[in-house]
Structure 1
């Protein structure tokens, strides 16, 4: 198959959170995550036990290695000649090192595939800040794909997972009406959730929870409608941290499971970690350990739906998102499954500065 090369981009930057890969990495990693907050190592050690339980190794780096390989295979199968780099915010390979390698190889127009599907400071703002630092004083510019919370490639794995889980429970004699679907995502402070909607007030359905909550609710409705229309569902949260006096999004999944059991109308729960693209530490510990244990303690059967990982639909969807930018696909032709989408593109990060792409295009057209 003939190779296609993008005139706009010469490489892809798979961009993720990062994680420790051994016991000696845990505290340095947590220092990176909490940088600037003045948290002493004694406090960090208190929250390090999740990683210690798994030998100090977060699964996220290996998951990204697998995703990188899957993306490279999909690009090759389509005849798209774009190398894939992989960089992290909080652990090696760091963005700055990867940008330097890309520049040395002559790759200066990068398109970022961020492993965060929703709009929030941690999913958008922090990556933008890190891209600015990484490209400062370089000849490298980074664009990033839009948030893809309602892209079919991201949603399809969850639809399949919910359908499979509810079918398994039905085969065990549990009626769909007594199976509760719990859509779970990472909790964030209420103020951060509200701020996630800034500038998008004209979008359908934004409330006090901003874009972050609205996007999750919209996607949950789509998944349930396609996979489990007879089962009740709710949006719940996990992994709350920080000052207990600061209000965060609720309810916590464990509290929600306990409340469902007390009502007596539920025999089983299906846990859908649709706030995550792969089985991060929060999924393995907070859901596979704590939430499933809570369900068992309250006499409820439980199934945890897989995250997209390297599901073919997800990998193909990410490449579709790349081609959207490569080919300047109009919004009206961009696939989306909710009334909130498609979410808009981001400004470019070039040499450590945010470039207004609309103004840049206008200037170019006037020459």
Structure 2
């Protein structure tokens, strides 16, 4: 009878909860749309406060470095002791940060405000990814894509935010996003109650299956090497995206004599295409393999990213669409790949991979901003186009079949 009872629980456990996935994806959209305000404000702050490119890079650094350092920390803590209500708490911290950003009178206050937003993001991301994993059932690639596409869609809103809100209303226009933060807190309260109930049911199943062996295994040298390679790939992708997000608008203004609003349309195209790529990456990886999609994503991006600085505006627009879509095919896939490298550490692996992306973006913002001040905008953009070639490292990763063997 006990075996029959356990068997009856398996289909329920393995089903995909699309309602939860779409809600957590929407919350991810709202969270990352709020974060997108910061780079979207760069042209505004550069004029109103007279900030240098290095100072703008430091603002992005302050936002992302807190998130990148704390995401794996929070992920590791909640792997050991899950805390469902961390999700609404994280967005409440972000809410305070966005209020501070709207009314900050000086550069230093902007830095403090973005630290709050970065802290809220660090709390949200690993637990949001865990919710996606719990709701995924057998479709982990698709689930992670739904979750991650929400965030990337939110980031892609930055150019529209600039054109529709920040250009007419200035810095104080950021206050409108307190509404988005409040909506996210309410939705995450609903998710938190679902999460708590899910934990209870999983704990019951563990008691019923107490005779099964523990899934946690020692981390081998091969696993550590593979994870290091994944982080190098994330480094290349993050630096490229950071450079495009923070500085490509300035490049179009300089090269094509665009207005701020025209420049944001090009950046919007790149980011929206990236959001679409994020969505399709997971299902493609479920079908064709995670390693294959990561490799193709990076290597097919390279020729287009190299060409972008050398072509007319109309051609650049088309190349931006292709580059954004193809490069971001690998975004959610690298998260799932890392989670399967070290099973049982879902929050930590999500925090490490996504957090590392934020951290590399932060360092990239400062480094690229400094390079622009040192060697010029055009030269820096040209060098950035070479970053996807680091995708050749994917050839050294173990195949999906090898991962399956390591996990038994």
Which TM class, normalised by the smaller chain length?
Answer: under 0.3
Q: Which has the higher contact order (CA 8 A, sep 6+)?
A: 2
TM-score by structure 2 length? 0.23
More strand by share: 1
More helix by share: 2
